[in-house]
Chains A and B, each alone.
Chain A
Amino acid sequence: MFLRDLLAVVIIAGVYSLLMAAIFTQLDAVDVAFTEASVGAGISTVLLLATLALIKNQKADKYEWRIPAIILALLTGALLLYSVPAMPLFGNPQNPIHHHVAPQYIQETPEIIGIPNVVTSVLADYRGFDTLGEVTVIFTAGIGVLLLLARRRTKKQ
């Protein structure tokens, strides 16, 4: 974030996404790692580079220390860290979130739905309505970019 060259910032952001994907794989979230690697390190970087080509100045201004922002970040961080001892332990099977619906989904998926991938069955079947909302969001984002950036042809040949 201290860099002035925006191209370097974009590349570092891509590497950061790839690192996140590796961490997700380590945490057994393979679907999420797949999506983060392809979307974060692929599409995000391509779109950022395309934007850099469009705005034509690739140097940010000199970095200046904004003290109120640092104080805000430190205060919020301290408040959040205060709540960490009250959180459940990392990786504990007895955590409350593992008890209510998740075992039912994991057990029912091979019996009722018949596919091995539990994440897909939850995404497409148990929570299919949320996925409909998500597809609508992507569609709306595409329309938004179309409205903002596409120019009409003034002359037809």
Chain B
Amino acid sequence: MGVSTMLVTNFNFTVAIFIAMIGLYIIVGQGNLIKKLIGLNVFQSSVFLLYISMGKISGGTAPIHFEGDSSFSNPLPHVLILTAIVVGVATLSVGLALVVRVQESYGTIEDDQIRQLDLDQENPKDA
């Protein structure tokens, strides 16, 4: 199969990579700290999408036993991603607490302004 048809048939990987790259660009490229945290959230959710799409079986149902069960989707990625989502929100809460403290100390949450304030603080001390 050609590369392009593979990309379309495995579109879950392509979509996940696309979203991950958007998230990466937001983390690295944006200056605002809150946008960076949201970019981290976007990146994490793209990884979740990757794992859960790998666990799906065509024609399967949710992994809960009921009367007349058929083939189930793989429950192991579900468990992993469940843990990862909760850890992600814990990270977000600590990150937001840090952002609040940064705002109080520096007065701004743009990273180039923060770096400028740090440099300004260092230079008068040397003199």
A–B: direct contact at CB < 8 Å: yes
**B90-127 with Cβ < 8 A to chain A:** 90-94, 96-101, 103, 109-110
Whether B89 contacts A43 by the Cβ 8 Å rule is yes
Per-residue CB contact flags for chain B residues 36-47 toward chain A (1 = under 8 Å, else 0) read 001101100100
Residue of A nearest to B21 (CB): A77
Q: How far is the CA of A43 from the CA of B69 in the complex (A)?
A: 35
Per-residue CB contact flags for chain A residues 27-38 toward chain B (1 = under 8 Å, else 0) read 111111001100
The smallest C-beta distance from B108 to any residue of chain A, in angstroms, reads: 8
Whether A55 contacts B109 by the Cβ 8 Å rule is yes
Residue of A nearest to B98 (CB): A148
Cβ 8 A contact of A119, one of B57, B79, B87: B79
Task: Write out the residue numbers on chain A whose beta carbons fall within 8 Å of the beta carbon of B81.
Answer: 29, 32
Cβ 8 A contact of B96, one of A51, A69, A117, A122: A51
Task: Write out the residue numbers on chain A whose beta carbons fall within 8 Å of the beta carbon of B38.
Answer: 9-10, 13, 48
The smallest C-beta distance from A58 to any residue of chain B, in angstroms, reads: 9
Per-residue CB contact flags for chain B residues 75-93 toward chain A (1 = under 8 Å, else 0) read 1111101110111011111
A116-B66, A127-B79 given; A28·B61 CB < 8 A: yes
The smallest C-beta distance from B62 to any residue of chain A, in angstroms, reads: 5
Whether B110 contacts A60 by the Cβ 8 Å rule is yes
Q: How far is the CA of A148 from the CA of B7 in the complex (A)?
A: 46
Q: How far is the CA of A109 from the CA of B65 in the complex (A)?
A: 9
The smallest C-beta distance from A133 to any residue of chain B, in angstroms, reads: 8
Whether A119 contacts B63 by the Cβ 8 Å rule is yes
Q: What are 9 A-to-B residue pairs whose CB atoms are below 8 Å?
A: A28-B73, A84-B6, A85-B6, A85-B7, A90-B9, A90-B13, A97-B54, A102-B74, A138-B90
